[in-house]
Amino acid sequence: MLRAIAHFPIIPHLDFNVTILGSNSAISDHGRHPTAQFIQLHHSYFLIDCGEGTQQRMLQYKVKWFAVNHIFISHLHGDHYFGLIGLLTTYNLLKRTQPLTIFGPPLLQQIIQLQLDASGTKLNYELTFAATSDDDFRLIFENEQTEVYSFPLKHKIPTTGFLVKEKPGERKLNKSKLSQYDIEKEDYKLLKQGIDITAKNGLSVKAADVTDAPHAPRKYAFCSDTIYNEDMLPYIADADLIYHEATYLHESEERAQETRHSTALQAAQIAQKANAKRLIIGHFSSRYHQLSPLLEEAQLIFPNTELALEGTVFKL
């Protein structure tokens, strides 16, 4: 029995979650805070953007904040990164030793380094900066299970979105079909990779006959801040979940254009044209105390829209 378990391990559910830590634009207001999102993809933990007070919200919502090894900053407006230096020094004060990599616009390194120098801080952990560029769709990070791409957004200053993508998983062994063959233990690995093998009795065994296809790799696209921009559609096409900023109602389209932001209707149009499964809207202007009009506007175009309410965990 133990052996059987070893052959057919119970594959743990591989989580892909987005936790909203901040949903307001520009400043904190109406109990809403500046942009930050915590992502779990299998065993990787990411932070996207880090407005002032993000470390407090990570504690509040009990996310695994100390497991974050990669932080992605979309652009250098303060509501997307003023909490970063505080988080980095808090990690240090709490004796972090695990290396940390920050992906963001080139000037971010200088801003952080200047503040570390000013306080005479030498970090206990290795901090690496990887400069992003808003000129193209680029693979900026990958590990065994995950890929992260940056892509250009259109805002007042250089800004990138991020596509967090699961790598295709292995095929799953089909226990009942496999029981018809006598197969070397070592060959299971090949079958899971889709490679045909030969059974002990010399019979040829096709991988497709004894394994099931893995689930389709999931994709999460983070799109903030930006004007309405169809150029990014190829990058975010068929995403399981898109977060798109929706700073204004469409009646304020001119204001959105002027400040290089989007309306709820435009966010919904992007989700629709990208053939996304679901949409989250956020980065709400402080002029909106009530958010339901923004939600209703987006749902008219793209019904499967939800509000980026803080503390909400979106499961892909």
Smallest separation (angstroms) from its own copies to the CB of 183: 55
Q: Give the DSSP H or E segment for 171.
A: none
Binding region for its own copies (CB under 8 A) out of 53-61, 64-72, 249-257, 267-275: 53-61
> Does the annotation mark 79 as catalytic?
yes
Q: Give the DSSP H or E segment for 130.
A: strand 127-131
User: What gap in Å lies between CA 37 and CA 48, rounded to an integer?
Assistant: 5
- 71 lies in the binding site for its own copies (CB under 8 A): no
SS3 call for 31: coil
Smallest separation (angstroms) from its own copies to the CB of 78: 5
- 131 lies in the binding site for its own copies (CB under 8 A): no
SS3 call for 149: strand
Residue 136: alpha-carbon gap to chain centroid: 18
Binding region for its own copies (CB under 8 A) out of 49-57, 135-143, 239-247, 268-276: 49-57
- 129 lies in the binding site for its own copies (CB under 8 A): no
Between 13 and 95, whose beta carbon lies closer to its own copies? Answer: 95
Residues 6 or more apart in contact with residue 14 via CB below 8 angstroms: 42, 145, 166, 169
Indicate which residue of 79, 134, 225, 240 is catalytic.
79
- Which residue among 8, 14, 17, 56 contacts its own copies (CB under 8 A)? 56
Strand partners, 263: 248
Enter the tokens of residue 81: 């990164």
Q: Give the strands of the sheet with 44-50, arranged side by side.
A: 127-131, 100-104, 70-72, 44-50, 36-41, 16-22, 313-315
Binding region for its own copies (CB under 8 A) out of 80-88, 144-152, 216-224, 263-271: 80-88
Strand partners, 36: 22, 50
Enter the tokens of residue 9: 């391990």
In 3D, which of 19, 23, 89, 84 has the Cα closest to residue 53? Answer: 84
Smallest separation (angstroms) from its own copies to the CB of 315: 29
Smallest separation (angstroms) from its own copies to the CB of 112: 10
- Which residue among 19, 37, 55, 226 contacts its own copies (CB under 8 A)? 55
DSSP 261-277: --BHHHHHHHHHHTT-S
- How many Å is the Cα radius of gyration of the chain? 22
Smallest separation (angstroms) from its own copies to the CB of 173: 47
- 27 lies in the binding site for its own copies (CB under 8 A): yes
Between 107 and 216, whose beta carbon lies closer to its own copies? Answer: 107
Residues 6 or more apart in contact with residue 111 via CB below 8 angstroms: 76, 85
Between 27 and 300, whose beta carbon lies closer to its own copies? Answer: 27
Are the beta carbons of 27 and 286 closer than 8 angstroms? yes
Please give the residues from 82 up to 121 whose contact with its own copies meets the rule CB under 8 A.
82-83, 85-86, 89-90, 93-94, 105, 107-108, 110-111, 114-115, 118-120
Between 5 and 118, whose beta carbon lies closer to its own copies? Answer: 118
Q: Is the peptide bond before 225 cis (omega within 30 degrees of 0)?
A: yes
Between 110 and 180, whose beta carbon lies closer to its own copies? Answer: 110
**Mind telling me the catalytic residues?**
79
Q: Give the interface with its own copies as residue ranges (CB under 8 A).
A: 26-28, 52-53, 55-56, 76-78, 82-83, 85-86, 89-90, 93-94, 105, 107-108, 110-111, 114-115, 118-120, 156-157
